[in-house]
Amino acid sequence: MSARPEKKRVAILISGRGSNMVSLIEAARAPDYPAEIVLVLSNRPDAAGLVRAREAGIPARAIDHKAFPDRAAFDAALQAELDAAGIELIVLAGFMRILTDAFVEAWAGRMINIHPSLLPLFKGTHTHERALDAGMRLHGCTVHYVVPELDAGPIVAQAAVPVLPGDDADTLSARVIVQEHRLYPAALALVAGGDAVLEGGRVRFTARARDAGAAILSL
């Protein structure tokens, strides 16, 4: 019987409450999950997710971006923590800082993000309000590899939700976040397990991932 491949050592980067982080931590408890969450970092010392990570037994530290003269210095401090922990994959989960090109390129193919829209629609912020303003009947969330251009990286997986009559940004975001908590653990498993690989600017899925219908999760 072949030995199970080593779990990828993952750092989750947050800025806020960390609900996606909690979903990932819980998913990674499965013995056959291909990743282990070994570190949580936040650019905001007041992030509630730091407390939730520590409660889950995960080392969690704040690196306050305001304490650095520029983005490059902040990113270098991130890199030092990631190196010290032997991190192999970075998972951005509500991490609200734009990373420098140098940092992103150093982690090419090893850093993913979840965005609360069906990219390439509604890059940037305030996605739910913008989807409502645009009269969308479908909305959702996207897990993508991170590239220097904001929210433009190759897509790993998406989940869609209906926009219902009477929805406002709060009701819509509440529907989307439920799908985020399903999508992100599934997408990280694909990436950590080598079933969704960034190659030549596109995501190549293995036969196993294709058979699992991994790229799209239904309503």
Ligand X SMILES: NCC(=O)N[C@@H]1O[C@H](COP(=O)([O-])[O-])[C@@H](O)[C@H]1O
Ligand Y SMILES: Nc1nc2c(c(=O)[nH]1)N[C@@H](CN(C=O)c1ccc(C(=O)N[C@@H](CCC(=O)O)C(=O)O)cc1)CN2
Placement of tokens 């994959």 in the chain: 89
Query: C-alpha distances in angstroms, 13 versus 6, 169, 203?
Result: 22, 25, 22
Gap between the Cα atoms of 197 and 194, Å rounded: 6
Cβ at position 155, least distance to ligand Y in Å? 12
- Shorter beta-carbon distance to ligand Y: residue 125 or 164: 125
Q: Rounded CA gap, 124 and 126, in Å?
A: 7
Q: What is the dihedral of CA 7, 11, 17, 20, to 10 degrees?
A: -40
Binding-site residue total for ligand X (CB under 6 A)? 15
Pick what 17 binds: ligand Y, ligand X, none; C-beta below 5 to 8 Å, kind-dependent. ligand X
Helix axis angle, 19-27 relative to 169-192, nearest 10°?
Answer: 30
Does position 180 bind ligand X by CB under 6 A? yes
Count of residues interacting with ligand Y (CB under 6 A): 16
* Backbone Cα Rg of the chain: 17
Task: Give the separation between CA 181 and CA 219, rounded to whole angstroms.
Answer: 13
Where in the sequence numbering do the catalytic residues fall?
Answer: 115
Q: Is 113 annotated as a binding residue?
A: yes
DSSP state of 200: T
Q: x-or-dash pattern for ligand Y, window 37-76, by CB under 6 A?
A: ----------------------------------------
**115 touches ligand Y (CB under 6 A):** yes
Which residues ranging from 7 to 66 are in contact with ligand X (CB under 6 A)?
14, 16-20, 49
Q: Show binding-site residues for (6R)-10-formyltetrahydrofolate.
A: 71, 96-99, 113
Rule CB under 6 A: which residues touch ligand Y? 92, 95-99, 104, 113, 115, 124-125, 146, 148, 150-151, 153
Rule CB under 6 A: which residues touch ligand X? 14, 16-20, 49, 93-94, 114-116, 141, 177, 180
